[in-house]
Amino acid sequence: MTYRTNFDKELELLKLSLIRMGDLVVNHIQDGFRSFLTMDTKLAEENILADRMVNEQEYAIEKECMRIILREQPVAKDLRLITAVLKMITDLERIGDHAADISKMTIFMEKTHGKHEMPKMQKMTEACSKMINKALQSFVNNDMNLAYEVIKDDDEVDEDFEEIKKRVASAIRENNIDADFAIYLMMVAKYLERIGDHAVNLGEWVIFSITGEHQKFPTP
């Protein structure tokens, strides 16, 4: 096996590790939202504990990136790819934190015994999950157009967040929602909105890995 073939194999394994971490984070988001939707405190507690697995994967991938950099001393496109991986795992870890935060809000909200249907949150959760999966797919396939789609998709998440804010404000004015529950509800919506922002960051780092330029797109 030639030096380059072996190095390419290491890079492919690195990409695979990133995909696995991304899959774990997406499941983490969905479990967090499901615990919120059903007020399942047992699932919420399990999801909070599961965040440790995300942190462990971030550490393992970071360690592997540093090992490759020190041993192989990559340049140009290879170095950009490894740099992008290091940045992307940071965003994935923060997404995992927000998923755990949603589960924490579930535990607080369950104690209020409040209930208020917010179908837009389900939509936000699905949109965020798709954005993350798209970003990872674009990275593996070097698909810059798909990365730009991820960035554009965040507009929908932001619009849903604004709609939820309006609905909660209206419910408060009409005295149709418990005040504590309204606060927790808005915090969950904000965590989802932030997850969308981190997915945008993933798309930006994919573009960097291809072009060498880090384009920062504005988020609200």
Give 149-190 pLDDT, tens digit per residue.
999 999 999 999 999 999 999 988 998 888 888 888 899 999
Q: How many CB atoms lie within 10 A of CB 12?
A: 11
Q: Is 8 helix (H, G, I), strand (E, B) or coil?
A: helix
Q: Check residue 177 and give its pLDDT.
A: 83
Lowest mean pLDDT among 6-20, 143-157, 189-203: 6-20
CATH code given to domain 3-211: 1.20.58.220
Query: Domain limits of the chain?
Result: 3-211
Burial of 10 (0-12, 13-18, 19+ CB in 10 A): middle
Q: Which residues, other chains included, contact 141 with Cβ-Cβ below 8 Å and sequence gap of 6+?
A: none
Q: Check residue 117 and give its pLDDT.
A: 64
Query: Is the model's pLDDT at 116 over the cut of 60?
Result: no
Q: What is the pTM of this model?
A: 0.91
Is the Cβ–Cβ distance between 86 and 182 less than 8 Å?
no
Query: Is the model's pLDDT at 24 over the cut of 70?
Result: yes
Average pLDDT, the chain: 89
Q: How many CB atoms lie within 10 A of CB 50?
A: 18
* Cα distance between residue 29 and residue 32, in whole Å: 5
